[in-house]
Amino acid sequence: MSKTKMTVGQAIVKFLNQQYIEMDGVEQPFVDGIFTIFGHGCVVGLGQALEQDPGHLRVYQGRNEQGMAHAAIGYAKQNNRRKIIACASSIGPGAANMVTAALTASINHIPLLLFPSDSFATRQPDPVLQQMEQPGDLTITASDCFKPVVKYWDRVSRPEQVMTAMINAMRVLTDTANCGAVCVSLPQDVQGESYEYPDYFFQKRVHHVARRTADDYEVAKAVEMIKNAKKPLLISGGGVRYSEAGETVMEFCREFNIPVSQTQAGHSALPDSFELNVGGVGITGGLAANKLCQDADLVIGVGTRFNDFVTGSKWILFRNPDIKVLAINTSEFHAEKVDVTRCVGDAKVTLEAIMEKLKTEGYKSAYTTEIQEIKKEWEEERLRVLDVQYHGEGFGEGKFVPCVPSWTEQIMTDFIRDIGGTITESNGVGLLREEIDDDAIVVAAVGSLPADLERLWVTDAKDSYHMEYGASCMGYEIAGAFGAKLAAPDKEVYSLAGDGSFLMLNSELATAMQENVKITVIVFDNAAFGCINNLQMGNGIGSLGTEMRHRNEETGKTDGSYCYTDFAKIGEGYGMKSYTVKTPEEFVQAVREAKKETKSVLIDAKVLPKTMAEGYESWWHIGVASTSESEAVREARQRIDDHLAEARTY
């Protein structure tokens, strides 16, 4: 048996170069590169190996460990989990910075390979710089923070352990049912230690992504449920996207006249123009899907986790007391939620198997014109909301009416006085959709924009809607867009971020400029954590800590004038072409100019508060106070209790 002596760092780099993935006969390298911020924990270990011989791996210089890991998530998602970029950090804060990204990846089932450095395995120089000491257990380090938020965790304390660690890492990263973040912690001394590795460890490994069909019993149960349903509704989740089963879903729905709704993760797996596509469902869903849920007697969830935003906190989907739920999922865990009938298998081949048997039964749903009628009603409403503008004519009946019930005239007056913007958020989304390329990729994650986009954004371009809404992680938008652009360099990529998200994490703009990668960042600046302010005020609570206002010396509260932030100048500081826009006309012109640019662009759009899309028969269970001196809070709590009386409890 031939062997080669090398360091742990060198072995990892050589191993990563030999990992391939294969699906439907298409084989390609799995690991394309590595993001890193070198520190004393990794620069002379893994860093030495990457400098000596990176193979085909491209090394990217991150600016913030969370940001670079978010970029890696965006890259993997845009590649439908077929390609990844690994991430490496130093110990201590560098490692801990990646914990948030690990959480984000695992919630969304996106493969993310992390190499946080660790303190010395020998403990000779302990405590080293940045080492956290736990007096009761010296084995605990910052790397242990990853354990609750990853799908696989390991620490390489001896050089030979790297072999089983990496093989298990690849097992999880390529598992369609259980993939997520993987943490392989690397003590900084072990990274540089040598071992005679067997050459077979570095042989080419092809990880086959199997399309597993549900067993005959489960397929038969699914057929029976659908056959007995008069008004089924299919929900197409992220699993449909990653299985590339969009065409199959359309064929299935068309064959049996079944309406289909898409989740945030599943949006753009099939075209919005599909005649049976009824838009988003649940808390951020639209009128069509949510209204159809009232009479649906069967929900067919394909590749969805059935989270609270999809089910409407188990109220929206379950208003029909006789509703039944069928779950098609590669994950047994997700296929057994909300007391469903499970059908464990790949979305594409399992739907095909069910469809074949249903055809022999001659099944058709009992829908007549309901789907077309509700689609028409919703399209009229969608276009109305997209066209909402403020023209300075004042407030009140027959004049400007915002989308959000918690709006007050004073909020609008103060904002216009201090910030000067008159763009409505929903109209900004509509204008952007009209101006950009049909196949452009839009990236968002948090705040009111996900609701606006799921309700209002339409696209027929496959995989062009890129939403991180499992973790709803503030700060993902820019880094995720950078990763998406690396994955799709021929497409225009737009990052839609609120002012809060931009301020939280914009560091990877420097890496995008360094790599000459163009993304267009649109900051929707409403000088607030807008959607949380809506929740606050909409549940009877006064505005507190959710608007960006100066502290008022008279009241002692942050209820003074709005804080004006010049985001355009921040973009200019990175070297971007930047625009500040305050009217719809200026917004359109900036978007048009941005399309002509070859480098990254930032558009600072001053957007009126309370002008996002809201409502549409949705409900969200949040912890409203059950005891309060405020009548408005007590009324909000009563609404919660009324819905809970109708919602499922598990």
127-158 tens-digit pLDDT: 999 999 999 999 999 999 999 999 999 999 99
pLDDT given at position 401 = 66
Cα–Cα distances in Å, from 613 out to 55, 216, 345, 379, 409? 49, 44, 36, 14, 18
pLDDT tens string 320-339: 999 999 999 999 999 998 88
User: What is the residue-wise DSSP string for 286-311?
Assistant: -HHHHHHTTT-SEEEEES----HHHH
pLDDT band at 400 (very low <50, low <70, confident <90, very high): low
Q: What per-residue confidence (pLDDT) applies to 408?
A: 75
State yes or no: pLDDT of 397 exceeds 60: no
- Are 140 and 123 contacting, i.e. CB atoms less than 8 angstroms apart? no
Beta bridge partners of 547: 528
Cα distance between residue 270 and residue 463, in whole Å: 8
**Cβ contact 423:455 at 8 Å:** no
pLDDT at 614: 84
Rounded to a whole number of angstroms, the distance between the first and last alpha carbons of the chain is: 56
Assess whether pLDDT exceeds 90 at residue 498. Answer: yes
Q: With beta carbons less than 8 A apart as the criterion, state whether 124 and 146 touch.
A: no
Our CA dihedral for 637, 642, 647, 650, rounded to 10 degrees, sits at 50
pLDDT digits (tens, 9 = 90+) for 293-325: 999 999 999 999 999 999 999 999 899 999 999
296, HSE (Cβ side, Cα atoms, 13 Å): 29
Q: Looking at 152-242, which runs of residues are DSSP E strands?
A: 152-155, 181-187, 194-198, 205-208, 232-236
Predicted confidence (pLDDT) at residue 405 exceeds the cutoff of 90? no
pLDDT tens digits, residue range 599-619? 999 999 999 999 998 889 888
Task: Work out the pLDDT band at 395, boundaries 50, 70, 90.
Answer: low
pTM of the model as a whole: 0.97
The average pLDDT across 486-511 equals: 97
pLDDT band at 648 (very low <50, low <70, confident <90, very high): confident
Backbone angles phi, psi at 94, to 5 degrees: -60, -45
